[in-house]
Amino acid sequence: MAPRVERRFGMTVDQVRCVGCSACVLACADENGVPEGHTRRWVSEVVRGRFPELTAEVWSDCCQHCDNPPCVSSCPTGASHVEPRTGTTQVHKERCTGCKACVASCPYDARYVHPDGYIDKCTLCLHRLERGERTACEAICPTSAILVGDLDDPSSEISRAVRSRHAKQQKLDGGTRPRFFLLQ
């Protein structure tokens, strides 16, 4: 079961607004010192149909900060954990052995092996949230497609967006209960 948390931070990406410019990807890498050739954030594009009847869908993606994160339950050392004040999924790198059980457990393939040996992923800019700032990806987004906030607070902007828009979650079959929503 999901551990008790004070707040449940989540993210929405508005697919009507997102143009796939990758500014968020670069801002994330810069803010968090993501090593060259690695990425905590990425842009996906799906093209469906047969030419010329095509539809395209684009969105910025990252760790889904699940309510029931398999990376936390599969971690043998407690390095992967749910941060109790924000409910975000984090890694204590001093406890990580680099066994990669969490990487295998993540249906979103949101984790990678940092060249220093520990497992790294999106922190939802925890250091910025703690200072009351917006995440680097949300702050840079030129179309304001990214929204981060407390899903437990019914009056927060993100809660209202998830309630009022068609909000799609990815890969629900694994029981991860992701807190990342695509607004359509």
Partner 1 sequence: MQVQDYAELSTTRANPHIDPALHIWGWEVPVYLFLGGLVAGLLVLNAYTVLTRRERELPAAARVFPVLGVPLLAVGLGALFLDLEYKLHVFRFYTTFQLSSPMSWGSWILLVVFATGGLAGLSAYVKSGWPLATFVRGLPFVGALERLADRHARGLAAANALLGVALGIYTGILLSGFAARPLWNTGLLGPLFLVSGLSTGAALGALLTRDSGERHTLLRLDLWLMLGEVVLLGLWLLGLLTGGEAARASSGLVLGGPYAAAFWTLVVAVGLAVPILLEVMALRGRWRQTLVAPALVLVGGLSLRFVLVYAGQHLGY
| Residue indicated by tokens 């339950």 | 73
Mark residues 65-94: x for contact with partner 1 by CB under 8 A, - for none: -----x--xxxxxxx--------------x
Alpha carbon distance 67, 109 (integer Å): 17
Q: How many residues bind partner 1 (CB under 8 A)?
A: 49
The torsion defined by the Cα of 51, 55, 58 and 64, in degrees rounded to 10, comes to: -110
Asked if 168 touches partner 1 (CB under 8 A), the answer is no
127 binds partner 1 (CB under 8 A): no
Residue 112 is a binding residue for partner 1 (CB under 8 A):
yes
Q: 3-state DSSP call for residue 164?
A: helix
Q: C-alpha dihedral over 43, 48, 51, 54, to 10 degrees?
A: -80
Q: Applying CB under 8 A, does 175 fall inside the site for partner 1?
A: yes
3-state secondary structure of 65: coil
For residue 113, the one-letter residue type is: V
The binding track of 15-54 with respect to partner 1, each residue x by CB under 8 A or -, is: -------x--x-----------xxx--xxxxxxxxx---x
Binding stretches for partner 1 (CB under 8 A): 22, 25, 37-39, 42-50, 54, 61, 70, 73-79, 94-101, 103-107, 109, 111-113, 116-119, 171, 173-175
